[in-house]
Amino acid sequence: MTQISHSRRLRRTPFSQGVESFDIKAYTVYNHMLLPTVFRSIQEDYRHLKEAVQVWDVSCERQIELRGPDAGRLMQYLTPRDLRLMQPGQCYYVPIVDETGGMLNDPVAVKLADDRWWISIADSDLLYWVKGLAYGLRLDVLVDEPDVSPLAVQGPQAEDLMAEVFGDAVRDIRFFRFGHFEFQGRSLVVARSGYSKQGGFEIYVEGADIGMPLWNALIEAGKSMDVHAGCPNLIERIEGGLLSYGNDMTDDNTPHECGLGKFCNTQAAIGCVGRDALLRVAKEGPVQQIRPISIDGDAVPICGDFWPVLAGGKKVGRVSSAAWSPDFETNVAIGMVRMTHWDPGTELKVGTPSGLRSAVVQSRFWI
Ligand code: THG
């Protein structure tokens, strides 16, 4: 098998040693960092995620820290989501757009204090855009990438495992909220969030030195729960409609096209970059939008590039993610479909590498 060469530019993580102590089969590169994609097999990882508990090295969800009196102002410039009611202790999923309303990233914003935020980014070099805005607008704020690496604990038994390591108080953390919890004398941000629909937590591990001690503590405490190293699972995230920046959307798409209009309050987001452009598309409505699509036939291959979506021989969209779902016994997919063909029940064709397949627009994602 062909290998990938390691160097300082392809960053390892504070948990890489832990990941390698399991039988890691494949990585991808995300924010210039290793992100595991397969341990036993995508199907076995999927089943285990839905039945047990996994520890995920998601260090590649890098943080951009905003620190200073203008931190909140800068954060509101970055996103069309209204942040005025957001309190310290809350996380928000926030679309980040450019001056044309194009998506630059879809991170989780973590409000640590009025003057201190983390932006937990998806796979794009957002740091330079944020630094550029802070400098260009002469804001009184420091922008940098701190030594913070998220470790996710996901699955139905996540709460029990977390309680073993951090105490029963973690059970009281509400969805998209966080608290501060001690591990080996260090205070860590622990949120109820994560890139799966199975429930769980994300620990924002501050200081690479406690990465392996924490990894080991979780694996040790989880032995009776069949804990295993895991990673964001392709099948489960498509079933759940969790979008992947760079795959399902790029800076060519507005949040409204991505179905993220519910995370935009553009009218209220005074100062937000791209506000005028977004007000325009919000009024007119998008002409294409993300849709759940089922694809007929046996298991499709990996979707490494757009697959054309056709109707009457004409291209009306594209599929960007697809996988066989054992639970729903169909191929589940995420696509961008033109408004003429986006109604639930619309019958389409998808050009996959294994031939032209029949497909149907769904009314909602599967989980
Ligand atoms: N957690 C953290 N950082 C991240 C991700 C994460 N950075 C990269 C990437 N994932 C960013 N993208 C997403 C996409 C979806 C969600 C979070 C981050 C998500 N969505 C929920 C949903 O759609 O059901 C809930 C959204 C809400 O209701 O607010 O969780 O996973 N730290």
- Kind plus residue range of the DSSP H or E element containing 77: helix 71-78
Same domain, 53 and 188: yes
Same domain, 54 and 155: yes
Q: How far is the CA of 94 from the centre of ligand 1 (A)?
A: 9
Closest CA to 289 of 332, 337, 333: 337
| Tally of residues, the chain | 367
108, 127, 144 — which closes off a domain? 144
- Kind plus residue range of the DSSP H or E element containing 221: helix 211-221
Q: Whose CA is nearest to atom 21 of ligand 1?
A: 242
Angstrom distance (rounded) from CA 192 to CA 174: 6
Closest CA to 284 of 257, 248, 315: 257
Counting from 1 in the atom list of ligand 1, the atom nearest the Cα of 240 is 24
Residue 336 β-bridge partners: 290, 318
Q: Decide: 150 and 205 in contact? Cβ < 8 Å.
A: yes
Same domain, 297 and 328: yes
pLDDT of residue 15: 98
Q: Decide: 193 and 236 in contact? Cβ < 8 Å.
A: no
Same domain, 229 and 165: yes
The distance of Cα 269 from the centroid of its chain, to the nearest Å, equals: 23
Same domain, 151 and 205: yes
Tokens of 88: 């310290």
Same domain, 86 and 108: yes
Q: Whose CA is nearest to atom 23 of ligand 1?
A: 242
In a domain, 274, yes or no: no
Q: Find where tokens 């169909």 sit.
A: 330
Q: How far is the CA of 15 from the centre of ligand 1 (A)?
A: 21
In a domain, 257, yes or no: no
Q: What is the CATH number of the domain that holds 47?
A: 3.30.1360.120
Q: Decide: 110 and 66 in contact? Cβ < 8 Å.
A: no
- For strands 200-206 and 33-38, give the pairing: unpaired
Q: What does the H/E/C string look like for 274-302?
A: CHHHHHHHHHHCCCEEEEEEEECCCCCCC
Same domain, 55 and 194: yes
Same domain, 153 and 140: no
Closest CA to 149 of 115, 118, 183: 118
Tokens of 304: 């490494």
Per-residue CA distances from 180 to 74, 177, 234, 286, 320 (Å): 25, 11, 31, 41, 38
In a domain, 96, yes or no: yes
Number of domains in the chain: 3
Averaged over successive runs of 10 residues, the pLDDT of the chain (367 residues) comes to 90 98 97 98 98 99 98 98 98 98 98 99 98 98 98 98 98 98 98 98 98 98 98 98 98 98 94 96 94 98 97 97 98 98 98 98 98
Tokens of 133: 């805005």
The letter for the amino acid at 124 is: S
Q: Find where tokens 């999923």 sit.
A: 93
Same domain, 34 and 87: no
Residues with CB under 6 A from ligand 1: 61, 93, 106-108, 120-122, 150, 176, 193-195, 202, 242-243
Q: How far is the CA of 1 from the centre of ligand 1 (A)?
A: 33
Same domain, 217 and 227: yes
Same domain, 28 and 82: no
**Most ligand 1 atoms within 8 A of CB, residue of 124, 148, 195, 202 to mutate:** 195
Residue 360 β-bridge partners: 294, 347
Closest CA to 252 of 124, 74, 107: 124
Q: How far is the CA of 227 from the centre of ligand 1 (A)?
A: 23
Query: Collapsing DSSP states into helix, strand and coil, what is residue 83?
Result: coil
Q: Decide: 319 and 302 in contact? Cβ < 8 Å.
A: no
Tokens of 273: 């970059």
Same domain, 85 and 185: no
Residue 309, domain extent: 288-367
Q: How far is the CA of 175 from the centre of ligand 1 (A)?
A: 11
> DSSP secondary-structure letter at 106?
-
Q: Whose CA is nearest to atom 1 of ligand 1?
A: 194
Strand order in the sheet with 91-93: 91-93, 108-113, 116-120, 63-67, 142-144
Counting from 1 in the atom list of ligand 1, the atom nearest the Cα of 105 is 11
